[in-house]
Amino acid sequence: MASVISRVRAADGRGLLGTWVKIPSLETVQLLGHAGFDFVVIDMEHAPHTLQRAVELVFAAQAMGMAALVRLPDHTGTTIQPLLDGGADGLLVPRVTSPAIADALTRRMVFAPKGERGLGATSRAGRWGLMALPDYLRAGDEALRMIQLEDWPSLERAAEFAGLDHVNGIFIGHGDLFLSSGMPTSDPAVRDLTARVLKATREAGILSGVAVATPRDAREHLEMGFSLVMVSNDTTLFGRAVAEAASATRAAPKE
């Protein structure tokens, strides 16, 4: 299966559409695949996924033809090796506030001697030892190593983060940016900052990512040129669907 970076390049300017996976269910991941999403991000930061379940969700997403990324739970880095060994297409590091943090964690996603990732060719990522070693190493090099910048000072330094050796993607965390700044994504200053971060990723030749709430917002950010655009999340998508069905049924006029 092609890497996320290769998929973005093959899309020829059209970004990929994804969503967050918070429900620890293989069936709902299958439904997301049937619905036509290009990728998912399995969320270990804000959902109670165990390491084993996260790897199973990676498998389920890839079986449906979607790319499978995982957002790390924290900065300890203890899940990096097993998630990559489990075949994740890439990892998203939340709440990055300094180049030192970004470098330390993404370095652990890159094989030695350039980085600190250990050889695990007999894992799922290496087809349990059946993949030729050069192919396994090449696939590892193509894994997405994306950092999430979520506060104003960090986003202002996007170009600096984009220039780090092992960072190949920057994701804008508009949610926590709102918490710290009080400004929504519609604020002109936030829109300008978003455009500047996108410009920094383009100039560095790395991927860009963003999460939004509505299909309208998703279309807007795809048109802006973001590489990865996430709309809503599985809990909200499925929850609203069943709520709307129940509401519409009860509101139906009596015959």
Instruction: List CB contacts of 240: < 8 A, sequence separation 6 or more.
Output: none
Decide: helix, strand or coil at residue 32. Answer: helix
Decide: helix, strand or coil at residue 178. Answer: helix
Verify whether residue 166 is a known catalytic residue.
no
**Pairing state of beta strands 144-149 and 207-212?**
unpaired
Q: By the 8 A CB rule, do 46 and 21 touch?
A: no
Kindly tell me the number of DSSP H helices and DSSP E strands found in the chain: 12, 8
Instruction: List CB contacts of 137: < 8 A, sequence separation 6 or more.
Output: 111
Amino acid occupying residue 50: T
Q: Among residues 11, 2, 6, which one has the least CA distance to residue 226?
A: 11
In 111-191, the DSSP E strands lie at: 144-149, 169-172
Q: What is the separation, in whole angstroms, between the first and last Cα of the chain?
A: 54
- Token pair of 60 as six digits: 């389920």
Q: Which of 46, 49, 75, 221 is catalytic?
A: 46
Angle at 111 between CA 108 and CA 117, to 5 degrees: 40
User: Omega of the bond prior to 215 within 30 degrees of 0, cis?
Assistant: no
Q: Among residues 181, 124, 179, which one has the least CA distance to residue 1?
A: 124
Which residues are known catalytic residues?
46
